[in-house]
Structures are given as C-alpha cells and as structure tokens.
C-alpha cells in the first residue's frame, strides 16, 4: 500500500513538472509544493513519509481548502526521534522510534494536524498573533517568529510565505507536539 502511495505521488510530481497548465490550472497545492521542494532539497522526506501514512490529511492538503502549514524539516524530525529515544540511544533505537510513530495512525494524525491551521496566515499575521488554532483543535502559542507547543517546546519559523494554490507553508526547525 505504501508503494502505491509513493508511486501515485511520484506520478503527480511528474505531471506537475511536465504539464503544469494542463494538470494544475489553479496551481500547485501544499502537497505538490512540498514534493517539489523535497525533490530539490530533500529536506521534507520524513514529513512526506508521515503524510503518506496519514492519507486523510494528505487528501485534505491536496484539495481546495485554505490552510497554513508549519512544516518541520528532516533535521527537526530527526531531532524529535533522538529526543524520544533518549540519551545514548543507538541508531537502531532511534529508527525504531521513528517507525513506531509512522505505524501509529492516531498519534501520527494528532501530531500532523497540530502543524496545520485553517485559513491562510502569512508570516506577518502569524507573528502578530498570540496563538493559532490548529486542525487538531489545540493551539500553538506565538511570540514573534517562535511557536510554543502544548508541551512547552519551542520551534522557530525559519522560512516563510511559501505560497500555494490552497494556502501557505512556513518552515519550522522543530516538530511541535500536542498534548499526547
């Protein structure tokens, strides 16, 4: 099933790159944009793998609704896996933590939906807010370009206003976590 999802996403990327006027008259979506950026930089491969495991959210972020996504980089996900595995964890233990998260649909859904807010919020609107409601139903606290999650962990917004046809992406340097 995972291979079918990867193949389908690869096909979307090929269509997007080879015939954008025909395939996406309204422009690339959040998912299309994340795939294209990852194809160039490789910095969202873990996020994409997580989205592939959470089909409902990937469908939502590929549709016409308007969303703001706080997208953690691969380095942010790797740091989370190391943090959860504990001090002195082996690479095998860290990889097991990563796989356990990908294999837990409820946890994955809660974490991913905590990175998405309804509506389009450009960087200037984000930095002026005190808090942002997410699709998970919980809030992210905001102070300038810094987000604080429900666990009190802070993430910095490191790249802003990546516009898509159905919203905007802001890149963050840490995975934010809801109350889990």
Q: How many domains does the chain have?
A: 1
Query: In the chain, how long is the greatest CA-to-CA distance?
Result: 51
How would you write the pLDDT of the chain (180 residues) with one tens digit per residue?
A: 443 333 333 333 333 333 333 334 478 999 999 999 999 999 999 999 999 888 889 899 998 899 999 999 999 999 999 999 998 999 999 999 999 999 999 999 999 999 999 999 999 999 999 999 999 999 999 999 999 999 999 999 999 999 999 999 999 999 999 997
Does 60 reside within a domain?
Answer: yes
Return the beta strands (E) in 15-130 as ranges.
67-72, 116-118
Does 59 reside within a domain?
Answer: yes
Yes or no: say if 147 and 70 are a contact pair by the CB < 8 Å rule.
yes
Looking up tokens 């082996």, which residue turns up?
A: 90
The domain that contains 145 carries what CATH number? 2.30.180.10
Does 177 reside within a domain?
Answer: no
Does 158 reside within a domain?
Answer: yes
Boundaries of domain holding 109: 2-172
Does 7 reside within a domain?
Answer: yes
- 144 burial via Cβ count (<10 Å: 0-12, 13-18, 19+): exposed
Q: How many C-beta atoms lie closer than 10 Å to residue 152's C-beta?
A: 8
User: Of 172, 179, 176, 178, which Cα lies nearest the Cα of 43?
Assistant: 172
pTM: 0.83
- Measure the CA–CA gap between 137 and 159, rounded to whole angstroms: 25
């Amino acid at each position: 099933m995972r291979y079918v999802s990867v193949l389908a996403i690869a096909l979307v990327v090929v269509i997007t790159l080879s015939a954008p006027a025909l395939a996406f008259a309204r422009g690339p979506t959040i998912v299309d944009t994340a795939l294209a950026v990852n194809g160039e930089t490789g910095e969202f491969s873990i996020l994409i793998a997580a989205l592939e495991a959470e089909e409902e959210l990937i469908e939502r972020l590929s549709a016409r609704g308007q969303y703001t996504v706080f997208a953690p980089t691969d380095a942010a996900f790797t740091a989370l896996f190391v943090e959860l595995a504990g001090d002195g964890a082996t690479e095998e233990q860290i990889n097991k933590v990563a796989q356990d998260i990908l294999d837990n649909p409820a946890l994955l859904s809660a974490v991913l939906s905590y990175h998405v807010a309804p509506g389009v919020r450009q960087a200037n609107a984000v930095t002026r807010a005190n808090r942002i409601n997410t699709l998970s139903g919980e809030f992210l606290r905001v102070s300038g370009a810094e987000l604080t999650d429900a666990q009190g962990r802070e993430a910095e917004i490191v790249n802003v206003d990546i516009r898509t046809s159905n919203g905007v992406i802001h890149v963050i340097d840490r995975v934010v976590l809801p109350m889990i």
